[in-house]
Amino acid sequence: MTRLRKLPIKVSAGLGLSLTDRAVKEAFAARCMASDLEELRNYFEAGGEIRCFYCDAPEPSRWDHLHAVTRGGDTVPGNLVPACGRCDDSKQDRDIDEWVRSTSKHRTPTGHLAALQDKVAAYRERFFYTEQAFETRLTPDQLACYQRFRTKIDTLRRHLESEGLLRPSTKRVRS
């Protein structure tokens, strides 16, 4: 049991801005019902227990988006995979090949990339899922709107930094 071991979540202004951006993107994404997860669990359970899609660790605790919501991914079978917290936190919003080629701690080893990509292809085919870039989901008008919103978010970020309310980001922000 890990009850009462964690501090309440810390939300920085930077994270708040990133989450606002994600919320806007999420409005354009598909989302399955919780009841659809049963079919998904059955798929991943086939031949044994459910394991982390990336590292094979037992009892993964999260559903990770193969293609991140911030990049146009959907919360649906074909894009959700069971992941351990370590892999999920390490991968962040990147696609698998970028993650594998990164220097992030706990990334999947390069030698596993081809097998992992085969697994992804089979999984997507089974659920008829095709990856789509966020920008291609929008009409030209919507894209122009989104770009104005992005400019405002970036301006707000710089404003908060110059006012000393947000530390300038040196690290990659999850957005």
- Nearer to Zn ion by Cβ, of 8 and 109: the residue is 109
- Nearer to Zn ion by Cβ, of 52 and 120: the residue is 52
Minimum CB distance to Zn ion, residue 98 (Å): 17
Minimum CB distance to Zn ion, residue 82 (Å): 9
- 80 three-state secondary structure: strand
Q: What sign results for the dihedral spanned by CA atoms 13, 136, 91, 99?
A: negative
Q: Which residues face 82 on adjacent strands?
A: 63
Minimum CB distance to Zn ion, residue 91 (Å): 9
List, in order, residues 6 or more apart from 87 with CB less than 8 Å away: 52, 53, 54, 55, 57, 64, 106, 108
Q: Tell me the C-alpha distance between 114 and 81, whole Å.
A: 17
Minimum CB distance to Zn ion, residue 31 (Å): 24
- Nearer to Zn ion by Cβ, of 54 and 129: the residue is 54
- Nearer to Zn ion by Cβ, of 53 and 134: the residue is 53
Minimum CB distance to Zn ion, residue 43 (Å): 18
Q: Tell me the C-alpha distance between 63 and 94, whole Å.
A: 15
- Nearer to Zn ion by Cβ, of 69 and 84: the residue is 84
- Token pair of 54 as six digits: 């990336």
| Binding region for Zn ion (CB under 5 A) | 52, 54-55, 57, 84, 87
- 62 three-state secondary structure: strand
